[in-house]
Amino acid sequence: MTTPDERSNLQPGRPLSGYRVLDLAGPMGVYCGKLMADMGADVIKVEPPGGDPMRDIGPFIDGRPGPGRSLYWLHFNTNKRSVTLDIDSSDGAATLRKLAFDCDVLLETGPPGYMDSLGLGYESLAADSPGLVYCSITPFGQTGPYRDFKASDLVGFAMGGYMYVTGWPHTPPTRLWGSQAYHTASNRAYIAILLALYHRMATGEGQYIDVAMQEAVAATTEHVNTTYNYTGESAMRCGFRHGGQFVATWRCRDGYASITTNTRAAWDDLRAWMDRDGMAGDLMDAQYDDHFVLRGEHSAHIEGLIQAWAMLHTRQEITEFGQSSHHPWGPAATPDEILENEQLWGRGYFTEVESPTGPSLVYPGDPYRLSGFPHPVRRTAPFPGEHNGEVLSGIR
């Protein structure tokens, strides 16, 4: 078995250079594999013959399905290599076992017991590779009464407790945009894998990591569970009337702007501006001096006045006033505005990468900066089995 140090010469320049990962994950874990690949790991995406079903998830380039055109696939599989294997067959399972012998991490999202049934579970592979870090992401974990339950991102978000407290008092529980439950599980798995690799550096021992999407989501609900535990009060959907601060997004003349009034100074500046515009109503009265009044019995009255005032101004006007006064106010940016944002381009967040299927593609980068490391996107997502020759020819 080669070591990460020996492999790092093949792809230098990123924090995880030299580490090799077998990625058998579906949508629940695909982001975890991307995070490792973007940090320099050699992530080998194992697909069934004919390609991973995620390749058929839209939207597609120019709205036309076809090979290499799924924007979902292109986003989540940058920097990965691809091999095709039928791991349900004895030959495919044997090949995967050989690949695992020369890998540091195996990532999978199959149902509990599935990999064991193929002879590819952690105990079996660790017998040959005691340093292997093996990570399983499932909806509810490998144990417990729900272990065999099926769940989508929507169900994970709901059963993790986040959906019930998201939205407005008069609306049903609301799901966040995108597959945030899947991404949360992937993020937790990524952190756990890094910790396991760090542990291995000190001990030489691998780890089995059991990530449950439900637990990953439940861990993000802040004080909701502890509040009920210690007060008996069940948190409800409250829009932007958050218990800790008043953060609201208002319809304005040309879109939406977010205004945070979590300090007395911010609240005073807002109502003074409204007063100059003749739109403050009675908000200059002493009973409204405390900014916590925004969450009290007068909240509906106050919100109505702020909303009427906000329609007088543009997002830019609100943003510039707030920022010049050192308050966290800003516009609600649309997708096209994000893609043209001078701050993101100025920091090198976006980059253009040559595409084998046509024009170059614009990719987002890391949401952080590590000094001395280049932009993470080295190559676009692979075609099915694109690297069969170079990967499979090297196994014993």
Which positions are annotated as active-site residues?
242
* Residues 6 or more apart whose Cβ sits within 8 Å of residue 210: 136, 138, 141, 142, 143
Q: What dihedral angle (degrees, nearest 10) is formed by the CA atoms of 229, 233, 234, 236?
A: -140
* The two three-digit tokens of residue 319, written as one number: 């943003």
Taking the C-alpha atoms of residue 279 and residue 257, their distance in angstroms, rounded to an integer, is 18
C-alpha 256/C-alpha 390 separation (Å) is 51
Nearest to 351 by CA among 339, 365, 367, 368: 365
Q: Report CA-CA distances (Å) from 51 to 254, 300, 356, 394.
A: 44, 53, 17, 22
**3-class SS at 343?**
helix
**What is the number of helices (H) and of strands (E) in the chain?**
16, 11
Q: What is the dihedral of CA 389, 392, 394, 396, to 10 degrees?
A: -150
In degrees rounded to 5, what are phi and psi of residue 283? -70, -15
Helix (H, G, I), strand (E, B) or coil at 70: strand
Q: What's the Rg (C-alpha) of the chain?
A: 25
- Name the β-bridge partners of 176: none
> 């030489």: which residue's tokens?
204
DSSP 353: E
Nearest to 259 by CA among 232, 291, 234, 223: 291
On whether the CB atoms of residues 199 and 129 are closer than 8 A, the answer is no
- Chain-centre distance for alpha carbon 2: 31
User: What Å distances lie between residue 74 and 179, 197, 268, 382, CA to CA?
Assistant: 16, 27, 47, 8
Answer whether 78's CB lies under 8 Å from 34's CB: yes
